[in-house]
């Protein structure tokens, strides 16, 4: 799979930009704050219909404007795919594929997969369980459309149940029959999500461990475990047992929305006992395993986005990654850096298909080989 070109209009700090890409390595070079990462995020938006960094779509509209548009041309084998994402202030986001509007955004997820390696990845280790759930939900959703549909339905029903619990408290009444109807609707989706997460991790862990050994050259044992009140338990019974607690707290206290993915090193939490270098190796191995499982199942390689990794990683880890580039482990790559000379030195002799772009104050121009 290739992204042949992209066009932006009023996306983040860009008025307008149009870029044609190399099928192998594409480098965005510029100072911090120039808009390099915004280009990676535009690519992420084309794939996932959302920003990797902003939770609100409206935050992607350039200040002073009232809409944005991102257009890209993908190529899978010999077939071309035009994707357009647009949003006008106060209106619903629109995504089209070959000029046909998606009725459900979820139908787009997984068609044009992407993997982003970012300086913020260690947040997966340092932050709370929500970050890890979101990450694995996004990954599994790119692999299994059914999982995404189940997740959407579960979150919709969960929101309804929580809203009902708040109404009970505010209006001083309790309708047990209505609550139990929502429980019955929620239970099958919750059980399916938990089972899917557990099954996914059983296959994913060995791939992750392989990449950790390669990227770190170390002997510590790393693992991922799924921490859940399900599966294997009776979710319906758990909801009943926690009913009084839910009523008091006005929210649902049991279910897959409370799950966590525990990151371990030598059976201890990486968050507390892993060095900064070990934590970086852990998340890079996570992303490389992410790449491999998608490439294997989709039978085409995802786009790989590398954001400021030359600034954030030590020479050993960069060398390991570049060995994988040289071995054509990856397909099309997009990377950002602040120093052209450093980028050229690291990428030297890795490929004869490299395009380099200077990014300056929201403007992009291609630069030739020095």
Burial 18-52 (b: 16+ CB within 10 A, else e): ebebbebbbbbbbeeebbbbbbbbbbbbbbbbbbb
* Domains of the chain and CATH, by start: 1-113+302-370 (3.40.50.300), 122-300 (1.20.1050.90)
pLDDT category of residue 350 using cuts at 50, 70 and 90: confident
Q: What is the pLDDT of residue 233?
A: 86
What is the C-alpha separation between 133 and 124, in angstroms, rounded? 9
Percent share of the chain, pLDDT over 70? 99
pLDDT tens-place string over residues 292-317: 999 999 888 999 999 998 887 888 88
pLDDT at 369 over 80: no
> Does the pLDDT value for residue 54 go beyond 90?
no
Report pLDDT digits (tens) over 85-112.
999 999 999 999 999 999 899 999 999 9
Predicted local confidence at residue 312, as pLDDT: 79
Is the Cβ–Cβ distance between 12 and 60 less than 8 Å? yes
Q: Please write the tens of the pLDDT for every residue from 266-282.
A: 999 999 998 888 898 99
Provide DSSP, 172-191: T---HHHHHHHHHHHHHHHH
Q: What are 7-49's pLDDT values in tens digits?
A: 999 999 999 999 999 999 999 999 998 999 999 999 999 999 9
| H or E segment to which residue 133 belongs | helix 129-143
Give the phi and the psi of residue 300 in degrees, each rounded to 5. Answer: -150, 150
**128 pLDDT higher than 80:** yes
């Amino acid at each position: 799979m290739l992204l042949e070109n992209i066009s932006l209009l009023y996306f983040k700090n860009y008025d307008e930009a149009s870029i044609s890409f190399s099928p192998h390595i594409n480098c965005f070079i510029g100072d911090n704050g120039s808009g390099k990462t915004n280009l990676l995020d535009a690519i992420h938006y084309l794939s996932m219909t959302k920003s990797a960094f902003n939770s609100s779509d409206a935050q992607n509209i350039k200040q002073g404007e009232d809409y944005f548009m991102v257009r890209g041309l993908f190529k899978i084998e010999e077939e071309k795919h035009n994707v357009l994402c647009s949003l006008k202030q106060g209106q619903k986001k629109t995504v089209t594929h070959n000029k046909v509007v998606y009725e459900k955004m979820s139908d787009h997820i997984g068609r044009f997969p992407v993997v982003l390696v970012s300086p913020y990845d260690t947040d997966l280790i340092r932050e709370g369980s929500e970050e890890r759930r979101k990450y694995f939900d996004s990954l599994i959703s790119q692999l299994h459309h059914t999982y995404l549909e189940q997740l959407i339905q579960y979150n919709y029903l969960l929101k309804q149940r929580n809203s009902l619990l708040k109404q009970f408290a505010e209006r001083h009444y309790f309708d047990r029959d209505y609550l139990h109807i929502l429980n019955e609707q929620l239970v099958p989706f919750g059980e399916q999500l938990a089972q899917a997460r557990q099954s996914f991790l059983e296959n994913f862990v060995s791939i992750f461990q392989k990449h950790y050994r390669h990227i770190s050259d170390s002997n510590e044992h790393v693992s991922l475990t799924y921490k859940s009140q399900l599966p294997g338990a009776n979710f319906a019974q758990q909801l009943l047992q926690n009913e009084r607690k839910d009523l008091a707290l006005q929210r649902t206290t049991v279910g897959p929305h409370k799950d966590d993915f525990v990151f371990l090193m030598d059976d201890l939490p990486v968050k507390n006992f892993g060095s900064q270098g070990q934590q970086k190796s852990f998340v890079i191995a996570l992303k490389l395993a992410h790449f491999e499982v998608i490439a294997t199942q989709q039978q085409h390689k995802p786009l790989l986005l590398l954001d400021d990794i030359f600034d954030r990683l030590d020479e050993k880890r960069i060398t390991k990654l570049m060995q994988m580039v040289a071995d054509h482990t990856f397909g099309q790559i997009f990377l950002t850096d602040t120093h052209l000379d450093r980028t050229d030195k690291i990428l030297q002799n890795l490929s004869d298909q490299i395009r380099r772009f200077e990014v300056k104050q929201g403007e992009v121009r291609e630069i030739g080989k020095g």
